[in-house]
Amino acid sequence: MLVLVLAAFTWLFYQNAWTGDDPYVTFRSVDNWVRGWGITWNTGERVQAYTHPLWMLVLSACYFFTREAFFTPLAISYVIDIALLVLLFRALKKEPLRFAALSLLLVSSKAFVDYSSSGLENPLSHLLAVLYFAPYLFGDPPRTLTRFRNDVLLASLAFITRTDTIVFYAPMLGYSLFLALKEYRARAVVAVLQGAVPAILWYGFATIYYGFPLPNTAYSKLNGGRLDVPFFHKNAFAYFQNSFEWDPPTLILIALGCAAGIYAVVRRPRIGPVPLTIAGVVLYLGYVVRIGGDYMSGRFFALPLLLAMMVLVAVVPDRRLTMEAAVVAFVLAFAGPRPPVLASGLNDHGGVGIERTGIRDERGGYHGYSDLSTVVARRDWTFGRADARKLNLHGPTKTVVIWGAIGHFGYENGPETHDVDFIGLSDALVARIPVPDVMERWGRGHLFRTLPEGYIESIEAGENLIVDPSLHEVYDKLLIITTGPIWRASRFRAVWEMNTGKYRKQITEYGDRNVH
């Protein structure tokens, strides 16, 4: 059964594997680091343009040897996906039919299949979730102090893989902490600190090296920390509707998994892994509603689907019923416009549209350009290779380039250019420029800014020439933080002031005068 599932998944992975634009935002930083210029977007300027530190470190370890940014992330993703399936098989090894059903349920989801590759951190998030939840859902491990410490460690690793996935772990981890404190008291606190070491080390490093604990993208997408929107963001419902139309099984299966878990809890009320896992899934879906979804169709539903299907397989006692549900879900996948099992050839996603809200079929949008089957068919073995670029780092000045979709563009330009991003994902100053009408302009999770007068001249001249006096003062501090010597007392003072909101007034003044 395992061999059959792995063979089928390998074929499905090959037909659907792809990389988008966003992973190359990370790869430009990785390339700079491997070449000795630090984990930076623009050389000489410390800005954390990527959102997934642990994934970045995994990519960097492999990129150091390959110097290649297309096959490398796909190979890593494939190995992680296979490890995930093997772990699920081991957890269900006494019931191979349940494993087959679970596998079929997962690959019925376009969201899960699409983001089993993509170059983003999803496969690593999925693997960590299986390592954490599977022993509880498919077994009954003893709640020892060592187990609790390991649980905190896995949650900590998930947290630095993608920060918002901690929502899934919070209910189970909170309950485990309650039990551990009750039984082990002070030793439980020590276990928490030991397990949280990866998160403590990373956020400590980020605060010292970059000057800010969070990725620059967080400040950009949250309007510099001043995002004021209702709890129910209007575009979130479009995101859910889009998933239902383009990928029918995913939301239906998530609802079915949650319903099956709730029914099992009602029949046998107790606090345990099933209700706590469901609570995490529901909380995360609420979070998706809060932030307005994403512009990548289905991306935020892949991990909820995985956990909901693990719950479904764990609580439904009839193995044949589980398999029948899996077959129905697989058939239902064909009702969508682009079922993963039919992906083949170079033109199966031609003419992909983008919804008026900005939601798009991200894998389909890159099919025919940066999907595995197309690149192999073209025999373009240099796609994504750093050594295929012309590097000229010895000129008198760097070329300043203004661009929005910065991933492929920035990586292909290489470190000889200073890329200015008017969305602010990779630019510390632009990320903090206020944006009016956030509700109207935030549908895809990106906010577009107008570059301040004198900013490009400042970069070219290597000194602060920004005209607006309020923003001029802010930029002075950001230059100290992002380009000054790391271990200066004046820099740490600037880091403290920026992170505690001392210059929020100046940014607001600039916005009032210049942003319309």
Rounded (10°) CA dihedral 394, 399, 405, 407: 0
**Residue closest to 453 by CA, chosen among 438, 475, 437:** 475
Average pLDDT over residues 347-372: 71
pLDDT confidence of residue 490: 95
In terms of pLDDT, which residue wins out, 118 or 394? 118
Percentage of the chain lying above the pLDDT 90 cut: 58
**DSSP per-residue codes, 7-69:** HHHHHHHHHH-BB-STHHHHHHHHHHHHTTS-S-SBTTB-----S-HHHHHHHHHHHHHH-BS
Percentage of the chain lying above the pLDDT 70 cut: 90
**Residue closest to 184 by CA, chosen among 132, 136, 135, 146:** 146
Work out whether the CA dihedral 471, 475, 477, 478 comes out positive or negative. positive
How far is CA 377 from each of CA 15, 20, 70, 76, 357, rounded to the nearest angstrom? 12, 18, 14, 21, 34
Q: 419: which 2 tokens?
A: 């890329």
Rounded (10°) CA dihedral 409, 415, 419, 423: 70
Q: Average per-residue pLDDT in the chain?
A: 87
Contact by Cβ (8 Å): 135, 88: no
Instruction: Give the helix ranges, DSSP H, for 162-222.
Output: 166-184, 186-195, 197-209, 216-221
Kindly report, residue by residue over 164-190, the tens digit of the pLDDT. Answer: 999 999 999 999 999 999 999 999 999
Based on its alpha-carbon atoms, the radius of gyration of the chain, rounded to whole angstroms, reads 24
Kindly report, residue by residue over 129-166, the tens digit of the pLDDT. Answer: 999 999 999 988 888 999 999 999 999 999 999 999 99
Quick one: which H or E segment has residue 419?
strand 417-421
pLDDT confidence of residue 438: 61
Q: Where residue 227 falls among pLDDT bands split at 50, 70, 90?
A: low
Q: Say which amino acid occupies 125.
A: S
Kindly report, residue by residue over 450-469, the tens digit of the pLDDT. Answer: 889 999 999 988 899 999 99
What crossing angle do the helices spanning 71-91 and 2-16 adopt, rounded to 10°?
A: 150
Work out whether the CA dihedral 201, 206, 211, 215 comes out positive or negative. negative
- Write the burial class of residue 477 (CB in 10 Å: 0-12 exposed, 13-18 middle, 19+ buried): buried
pLDDT confidence of residue 161: 97
**Residue closest to 108 by CA, chosen among 335, 282, 288, 297:** 335
Q: 509: which 2 tokens?
A: 């003044």
Kindly report, residue by residue over 34-56, the tens digit of the pLDDT. Answer: 999 999 999 989 999 999 999 99
CA distance 75 to 54: 17
CA distance 417 to 258: 49
Backbone angles phi, psi at 337, to 5 degrees: -70, -20
Contact by Cβ (8 Å): 243, 336: no
